Amino acid sequence: MHNLTATGIADGVRSGKFTAAAVVDAHLERIAAVNPQVNAVTVVLSDASRSAAASIDAKVAAGEDPGPLAGVPISVKENIDLTWSATTSGLPFARDHVPPVNATFVDRLLAAGAIPVARGNMPDIGLRWDTDNDLFGRTVNPWDPARVPGGSSGGDAVAVATGMVAAGLGNDYGGSIRLPAHAAGVVGLRTSAGRVAAPSRHVEPLPLSIQHFAVNGPLARSVADLDLLFGVMHGADEYDPLSVTTEHPSGYDGPRRVAVTVDPCGWGVDPRVAASVRAAASSLAAAGWEVEEVEPPSIDRCATIWRQLSSTENAPMLLTPGVFPGPLSEGTVRYFRDNIVDVEMLDTSASYQGAWAERFVLASAWRAFHARYPIVLGPVTTQPMPLIGYDLSGSVACTDLWKAHRLLVTANFLGLPAVAVPTGTADGRPQGVQVIARQHGEHIALAAARDIEAAHPALTPIDPRP
């Protein structure tokens, strides 16, 4: 059963073709067989998931509606509140921090019949493009163990790719859903800012960049599954003041024009990545989209200000002794210290305010651009996934990674929805692209991603490569 999509599982349970109990047992067996090789799953929720499955099967037997996600086994990232286990964010001192209530979108998924079977690994506090921490250790890329699995939702991406779960829940502040989805050969949806409520109902004074750039969203093995999960997750709650509720259309019948950027702002692109973007563009053209190679507005400025704001706001919290409420891993501290070396920090009120003011101007330019081109197609990252340890090899490496991820962080900076979707393999590793739509245009991004997916067969689930 670990080969089935979330949609296939839900249809099978709802129709009585198989039971939720059988689905959960099959995925728990898959976790036992695969996770020792990849360390993607941190906590296995055996008892609670079997109890939830029994409740769903009882509803089916009684002729009741078990929900649109009946029996779908999911993973929940370590920084998303689920009362079944601690919300650790990968921090050893938080290993006993069991939340009193679930995140609102977790409750919505549970009510729809989804069953958490495991927690997904992440770098501590989620501020690295790799997945490693002092509490649970490193997650292994199942396609190439020498390379990083991406971060920060790396555990959930690998769990989905290897069939341990049908879908995962992650979040995305600088590509943290799309990058690991890309590395694992699965699909991932970065939602619009505010479209899915916060990962905790406990409101804290977070930096402005986290408030506006970070979002929650699903990872899965098909675009249809992303659509199904997002349709349940989205909407405001009474705790998150930035959350919004707006309609999620079931399809898209608007203008079908695509702006293709193969090498965003001309900073360089690997030939295999360029070929992947052009293959996706050809797929969209064949599906009836009007495709044009044209550069979206000011990607260089969007990426630069994202880095300035995230560095300026997070550096005092992470690097000043005694500010953060507990120790961080050596890797996270080292990465962040190296990362800010090449950053022009916004250390005056005028420069800080000016950066936020310029964001408004850039967002306006992108809104006008999206009115002409509803979809922007480009790379997830312009370079292959790096070897383990590359991000800890000095400030030059940190800057190179940021440049490779410039289109990723542009979507975060502007609060836009984007879908990462595979396009095949090269050198034995997944290749893929992302499609970016206007704010609250998840249905547009999903429509384009479906057409790309239709031309490129699914890559997962796989058995980990030695």
* Whole-number Å distance between alpha carbons of 407 and 331: 25
The answer to whether the CB of 394 falls within 8 A of the CB of 334 is no
Give the whole-angstrom CA distance, residue 322 versus residue 217.
32
With contact defined as beta carbons under 8 Å apart, do 136 and 158 qualify? no
Rounded Cα–Cα distance for residues 342 and 392 (Å): 15
CA atoms within 13 A on the CB side of 450: 15
Q: List 219's β-bridge partners, or say none.
A: 168, 188
If DSSP codes are grouped into helix, strand and coil, which group holds residue 110? helix
DSSP one-letter string for 234-291:
-B--SS-TT-------SS--S--EEEE-SSGGGS---HHHHHHHHHHHHHHHHTT-EE
3-state secondary structure of 120: strand
The angle at the Cα of 252, spanning 249 to 253, to the nearest 5 degrees, equals 125
- Strand 429-436 relative to strand 418-426, pairing: antiparallel
Q: Which helix (H) or strand (E) holds 231?
A: helix 223-233
Provide the 10 A C-beta neighbour count for residue 291: 22
Please classify residue 353 by burial: count the beta carbons closer than 10 Å to its beta carbon, then call 0-12 exposed, 13-18 middle and 19+ buried: exposed
Active site residues: 77, 152, 176
What region does 417 belong to: left with phi over 0, alpha with psi -120 to 50, or beta?
beta
